[in-house]
Chain A
């Protein structure tokens, strides 16, 4: 099971980073979100995989590791704030610069694109 989990984490990271390296802001944000899923899963796994033993105290002897969970919980919320900031920044960039390219080369003419739509 660990192997499958690790493969998933690795695969998600690959896809996330690949999308982050694309030349448009929206794709980048999607990549960022995907990568943050992967990172959250990765952090979570550092406490090991436990089934059916949540860290809620009862008479049970065996509990999942609560510390990575607490870390990941805040990471999810902060990750949301980061994604939101990135996407709004991208929008603002597009509004002010007239382009959603991040490759630094292509000149962009919003009118030309509007015509094509």
Chain B
């Protein structure tokens, strides 16, 4: 069970390079390599069991309801990929130590690299599909960071963006596919999914799942038509190209196809789509590679071609094809990584990657040249090297398949042609770089690299040879267990011999090599031919598409979001209308069965006042002061309405809030233009707004009427029955507020406090111009604080406070309570502000309203927490009747303390708002006066 730690070790290792960056370069490299090396050892510890055909999985539940768990598995396929990722990763770490210059931030580079390693290990070892997807996206992100590592380079930035866009979009498709698959199977665990192949293939969603998975795999593995990002990703430092863009990340798509082979493969669609995509990509890549002058460009297209080959193999309908595919994954990773590293060495030591400049390097770096030549021979499929073995298997399988019916013979023929091109570009790599005259126009004299920079290449080339000569001893067992994991059933017979006798595949290899040589010899004509076609820069096309998308999105945004609040409000109202209207049509009649109450004169008068007031508010909305007065009339009638319909608490609250609101709006109006310009609103808007408003009004009215006349099963009986027994109060509304629904109230006073603080912050540093005259052109009155008002308000203050205390105390049993008492106190104090001014009050009231809000909330919160001491849930209330001499029997309740909290918060919030605003008017008025 060592393997469970494998994905975690590199994860912890992500920060190591950043910490070790201060040390010297070698120490930093060593520290970085430590944890991955340990992880590799752990894999080797578990390897014997895996080779014996076992597969492990272990999971830790996280959110089982959503199928989310931390779950890893180790089988042949995961082991193979883990060894590739960790092994080549370690070599790349060593290589990068010499490749990166002093200027590059080494710690950052290693950090990204190890992050990628973690992500890649996560993909191959995940046993949960969602977790797999998470790591899949992480590879896209780390690849983005690594491609763009030289962020001063515009090509690197563009290449990174392109790679992220393509692979990221593919990742989203994959997520959709995974979710669909998970829904079909009923689980996201791979153990279960991999054994549900038949269920999935018969599901109606099979096609959708397959297409989404293929989009994910093809984007990641650079298959046509998504292949264009890979050559542009070559702007990355070469160690990254060697690691991500040839050996591992681009294999993630292929890994996905291999991993889900038992579930998704085996149908006609799979064979045709996968094999044809692979075939076309292989041909396209091999052909294009030949004409690239950039060393890394050649290798990039060659990678695309080889990826196409592997995908083609996975799409062939013979069982051995999958085994050949896996074999080629390993071989390609080994020889291509070594080639990239060799290319990096050449670039590093000669200062150029252009094959028109670098020629005849054999003289300058014979050892590197030998290594590169062996590796490219392997790429070309020369016997005694690993590339030959898998290519031979590939040819055999193309001959066995029958996916195109009577046209199936095309596939081996095209495969041979692609192989010939592969030979040709390998030849070009060898001949152009190491022979073919002398270097031209190089800035420095090429030389052999530092000793240890070559070591990774040497190791990889040795593996090429070993596998090529002794396949059965070196790679045989791992290949066997991997194939078992991919096919999910007993393996067919196959042999890994170098010599299978004189047969058709050998002939094809021979033809390919001869053909390759012939193509290379005639390259001048071919170059001329290729030169006749316009050179399409994928980057420009891609940027163009992105730009078009952006413009299109901006246009849509401009339609929806043109900065007009009116339009947003209109859209909001309109959609509210669309949503609430349809259910109303299902109601047969508006009038329900509940008998109505007869109308009387008082109600009629109130109704007329409300309607007249609302109408007047609209009509005189241009004269803002009058509109405000009309509004307050409506508010007043509303509070009377509450009082009339048995809601004294509401009436009191509404009345006091009404007063505070009107004062607030009056103060604000001081800073606004006194009149709204009339000519601005267009008649069409007027009609439009009136229509929408009327519709909504009609609907609200209808619902209101229906609500009142239909029988209602309310939970209120509970509150009425329990207010006295459970809450100790007879005013049920207050008991609900401070006891039954105390938690809601606590939330509400918190919101009130936050709103007040927000307002305070908005007012601070506000710069406003104030006019010295009112709308009619009259100067403001000089008498700021009328004496009469001062005297009367001052003498009223104690009375006010007394009333508020009274209202507060009786709140639990009679109409009143913390909210109302708080508002009354606030009004009393606001009146002092109005009568005497902010400065006068500031001298006398030393309380800071911020603290008052905090104190109120703390009291309320502590009251709630207090119940924890008695092992009760938050805000459980307690009450007791106590008798004292002279005073008599009275009630003590924890709810009362809570209500004190409410009281203070309300005062603090209200006064913070109004006093801050009032202070602003005073300040501004002074400056105006001084003018």
Contact = CB atoms under 8 A, between A and B. Distances in A.
Interface of A: 1-30, 33-34, 37-38, 40-42, 44-58, 63-67, 69-70, 72-74, 76-85, 87-92, 94-95, 100, 102-106, 110, 113-114, 117
B700 A78 contact: no
A49 B736 CA distance: 20
B700 A38 contact: yes
A26 B570 CA distance: 17
B707 to A, nearest CB: 5
Contacts of A90: 668, 672
A76 B697 contact: no
A2 B565 contact: no
15 contacts: A7-B611, A11-B614, A16-B693, A18-B618, A21-B693, A25-B672, A42-B703, A46-B707, A55-B647, A70-B736, A73-B819, A76-B657, A85-B759, A91-B671, A102-B566
Contact of A55 (B564, B617, B732): B732
Nearest to B767: A95
A102 B748 CA distance: 29
A96 B62 CA distance: 49
Q: Interface size for chain B: under 10, 10 to 19, 20 to 34, or 35 or more residues?
A: 35 or more
Interface in B610-658: 610-611, 614-615, 617-618, 621, 624, 627-628, 631, 634-635, 638, 641-642, 644-650, 653-654, 657
Given A44-B650, A69-B649, A70-B737, A37 B635 contact: yes
A10 B701 contact: yes
B340 to A, nearest CB: 54
A66 B719 contact: yes
B645 A49 contact: yes
A47 B653 CA distance: 18
B858 interface: no
B596 interface: yes
B492 interface: no
A17 B702 CA distance: 16
Cβ-closest 8 pairs across A and B: A10-B701, A14-B697, A104-B563, A104-B564, A102-B565, A6-B705, A81-B755, A64-B646
A8 B577 CA distance: 19
Interface stretch (B376-384, B419-427, B465-473, B723-731): B723-731
B762 A88 contact: yes
Interface in B399-430: none
Interface stretch (B69-77, B299-307, B597-605): B597-605
Given A10-B697, A40-B638, A53-B646, A30 B628 contact: yes
B769 A114 contact: yes
A43 B24 CA distance: 72
A2 B716 contact: no
B627 A30 contact: yes
Contacts of B573: 17, 21
B741 interface: yes
B618 A100 contact: no
B751 interface: yes
Query: Which residue, B615, B700, B744, has most C-beta atoms of chain A within 10 A?
Result: B700
A53 B234 CA distance: 82
Given A2-B708, A5-B708, A92-B766, A66 B733 contact: yes
A17 to B, nearest CB: 4
Interface stretch (B7-15, B659-667, B859-867, B882-890): B659-667
A103 B564 contact: yes
B716 A19 contact: no
Contacts of B813: 56
B488 interface: no
Given A23-B681, A104-B562, 7 more contacts: A6-B702, A8-B611, A56-B814, A74-B744, A76-B654, A113-B673, A117-B773
B448 interface: no
B771 interface: yes
Contact of A30 (B631, B647, B698, B815): B631
B704 interface: yes
A21 B723 CA distance: 43
Contacts of A18: 618, 689-690, 693
A87 B668 contact: yes
B524 interface: no
B714 A47 contact: yes
A102 B611 CA distance: 27
B748 A77 contact: yes
A26 to B, nearest CB: 5
Given A19-B621, A81-B909, A95-B766, A64 B645 contact: yes
Nearest to B641: A41
A100 B672 contact: yes
A28 B569 CA distance: 10
B181 interface: no
B733 A69 contact: yes
A49 B708 CA distance: 8
Nearest to A105: B564
Query: Which residue, A21, A51, A89, A95, has most C-beta atoms of chain B within 10 A?
Result: A21
A7 B701 contact: yes
A85 B653 CA distance: 19
Contacts of B758: 85
B856 to A, nearest CB: 13
A11 B649 contact: no
Contacts of A92: 762-763, 766
B55 interface: no
A19 B657 contact: no
Contact of A94 (B569, B654, B692, B768): B768
A38 to B, nearest CB: 7
B307 to A, nearest CB: 51
Nearest to B754: A81
A114 B771 contact: yes
A45 B621 contact: no
A26 B624 contact: yes
Contacts of A17: 573, 689, 692-693, 696-697
A117 B723 contact: no
A30 B510 CA distance: 89
Query: Which residue, A30, A33, A56, A64, has most C-beta atoms of chain B within 10 A?
Result: A56
Contacts of B714: 47, 65, 67
Contacts of B917: 88
Contacts of A63: 646, 720, 732
B634 A27 contact: no
Contacts of B906: 77
Contact of A24 (B594, B644, B676, B733): B676
Nearest to A117: B771
Given A3-B596, A54-B647, A77 B653 contact: yes
Contacts of A79: 657
B681 A22 contact: yes
A9 to B, nearest CB: 5
Contact of B646 (A27, A52, A84, A102): A52
Contacts of A78: 748, 751-752
A100 to B, nearest CB: 6
Nearest to A46: B707
A48 B671 CA distance: 42
Given A1-B603, A34-B631, A80 B771 contact: no
Given A21-B689, A73-B653, A95-B766, A6 B701 contact: yes
A47 B716 contact: yes
B715 interface: yes
B719 to A, nearest CB: 6
Contacts of B730: 56-58
Given A8-B611, A45-B707, A110-B769, A22 B653 contact: no
A94 B564 CA distance: 15
Nearest to B906: A77
Contacts of B370: none
Contacts of B661: 33, 80, 83-84
B712 interface: yes
A11 B573 CA distance: 16
Contacts of B773: 117
B752 A77 contact: yes
A80 B730 CA distance: 27
